[in-house]
Amino acid sequence: MEATSLKSIVRAISFSLFIIYFWFGIQKFFPHVSPAEEIAGNTIQVLTFGFLSFKTGLMILAVWEVGIAFFILCCPTNRIVMGLTILHLIFTFTPFLFFPSLTLGDATGSLTLLGQYIVKNLLLICCVYFLYKVGPNLKGSLYKRTT
């Protein structure tokens, strides 16, 4: 594939990830705005053995998600940014371990709406993996206009 095509794909993926992370993250700064607020706060409390309060954990998560949004936009192929993003995405699956009654449906193999909300993160993991594999092969700035 041509380098300019790859750069266009990387820009599209990084912009899409920016929108998702910014939108989901910014909501967590405001109480009762994010539909994921309760599960996120409770999961953080379990993961930190209660060390972080619900509110503090949610604020840290909000900063983390908004930070990822901006870093993915400005340097989408940076390995540290990708690592922090993958770490975040792995943590999003922990409600399946801690709160299966909230994520798994009654029928075998079914998911609740929350479970589906979490499983869609597999696509985000694939996007970050694509950036990881393609990034080192791109020469020059991603945002320089080529004619």
2 pLDDT higher than 80: no
Dist CA 141 CA 138 (whole Å):
8
Collapse the DSSP code of 111 into the 3-class scheme (helix H, G, I; strand E, B; otherwise coil) and give the result.
Answer: strand
What is the percent of the chain with per-residue pLDDT over 70, rounded to a whole number?
93
Q: Supply the pLDDT for residue 128.
A: 96
Does 136 or 91 have the greater pLDDT score? 91
Residue 104 is classified by DSSP as: B
Q: Supply the pLDDT for residue 108.
A: 85
What does the mean pLDDT of the chain come to?
A: 92
Secondary-structure breakdown of the chain: helix, strand, coil percentages, each rounded to the nearest 5: 70, 0, 30
Q: Supply the pLDDT for residue 55.
A: 96
Q: What is the mean pLDDT of residues 70-98?
A: 95
